[in-house]
A and B are shown apart, each in its own frame.
Chain A
Amino acid sequence: MIINRRTVEKLVRKFFFCTAAASVAILFMIMVFLFMEGLPILGKVSIKEFIFGQYWYPTSDPPDFGIFPLILASVSVMAVSSLISVPLGVMTAVYLAELASRKVGEIVKPMVELLAALPSVVIGFFGMVVVAPFLQETFNLATGLNLFNAALMLAFMSVPTICSLSEDAIYSVPTALKEASLALGATHWETIWRVVIPASLSGISTAVILGMSRAIGETMVVLMVAGGAAMIPASLFDPVRPMPASIAAEMAEAPFRGDHYYALFATGIVLFLFTLMFNIIADHIAYRYKQVGDSTL
């Protein structure tokens, strides 16, 4: 009887381990299939030509498969959006963790969560029909669908990520540290600036990196709002074509297992590697500077 129960226990444990490994397996399969469908493009162009090529004309004859304008578009949209989302997200987090009364917190927190839950296609649609005409009229532009609009919409998508993760980090700073600072005569703000934020900096950086990773991988917003011109942007109000937009827009028309199809998968690899890098850095920071009691601060 006892042996029987033990075998059952062992089997159950093994079963749970296998399911837990499923996530790793899926991640691995994503990589395998991306590379399987994307690498054949290297038979057509070299890695250098593909990544640093200035021209993306996949359907002209002969086609050009240079994704440099797409990479640059992705990076610039991400950078501009973090200029908005990082201050906004971190400030909201400080407000929620340090200032908001419990009642206000119970209203603001769900609002941030709902902001995170808004489907990206709805935010893209909002950017298209409300923000774009507004930008076009206010700044007298040729088109309201441009880099700035996309960055603005993306900012509101990454604020919730940055905010909730930063809030957790700020919240976990030991009260003893804050009390020590207040007892020395520092004001509440001085305590936040000199003690709380430095102590939670690793958590805040993780939050910022994950927010940026979300911004660079977001698809629908840049597909609908960024304007779609595959050229190197010269100004904030130029239309651009970030990597996810290019993949989503062209995959339906790309001939099955043709060069264009391979090139889009290869673009997916580049995008995937970008986010993988961001996530590994974030994970590394979170793990390396993991707070174990007051002494590690």
Chain B
Amino acid sequence: MSRPPSPRPAAASLGGGAIRCRGLVKRYGEVVAVAGLDLDIAPGECFGLLGPNGAGKTTTIEILEGLLEPDAGEVEILGRRWATDRASLRQRLGIHLQESQFDDRLSVRETLDLFRSFYPAGQPVDDVLALLGLEGKASSWVSRLSGGQRQRMAIGCALVGKPDVLFLDEPTTGLDPQARRQVWEIVDAFRGRGGTVLLTTHYMDEAEVLSDRVAIVDSGRIIACGPPRELVSSLGAGHVIGFALDPAAASEPPDFGSRLEALPGARSARREAGEWSLTAASLHVAMPALLRLAADDGWSLSSLRTRTATLEDVFVTLTGRHLRDG
């Protein structure tokens, strides 16, 4: 007996996983915001899209959220597609948008009650208030909240529906360090229940702290993807030596950069705003070599410090630009 050919192979499932997409493209006129992007995010994973402003992070996340229609590519969330399962998908996703401002003249509880009412199977508003640490502010108007409290409430509105997947677009932009940590704790608590998270951020520390894996996005493409530690170690250099020459002591030779890179244990050197950054695999080899070079050539250092390499260094190495440059 012969089996009939499997119907419409093009529409075949992209497989398991919480969030999957293939070949996403989105153009705004001449500008290509997303230029062929693939993602595979597993259930229970926290995945970060890291990139400068304008890299296409928000466009990507809004396509995945079903708020924007891609020009090309396929999206599957929890094994379903927006075209066919919109209503049931909406029930299972919690979405936090970057720029939404809530009504100033509603209280925190009234706002959460409103969002809770859209979900047949959500969680009690009191539980969410406790999770957000906003019990004491439940009856305050939104206009009376601090920036951090507003942001937590906004994330709470995404959590009242008891979602399986949480989308966070720039959840801590503009917040002070303490408020940022409070947001991170809420995300951790959600993950503790087995939730999947996709977040966008242009803060490399946020991506490192929260994410199991990070995709570095630039100009609508993923230029690197993996666990934050692996991305950093893929530089082949876990450390950065920063120093500046004292201009009074000696002038800088023209081939200075390549001489630095030739030092034992050193990887790459770049100069920026008068300061040199030298990446190094092992500090105890590169540092003495650098100091010996200084002594031999007779230049003196006006500053010298070392730090551990970060995702920022990965981005700089790959693009030659900083995350905050946009």
Q: Are the chains A and B members of one assembly?
A: no
Binding site for A on B (CB under 8 A): none
Binding site for B on A (CB under 8 A): none
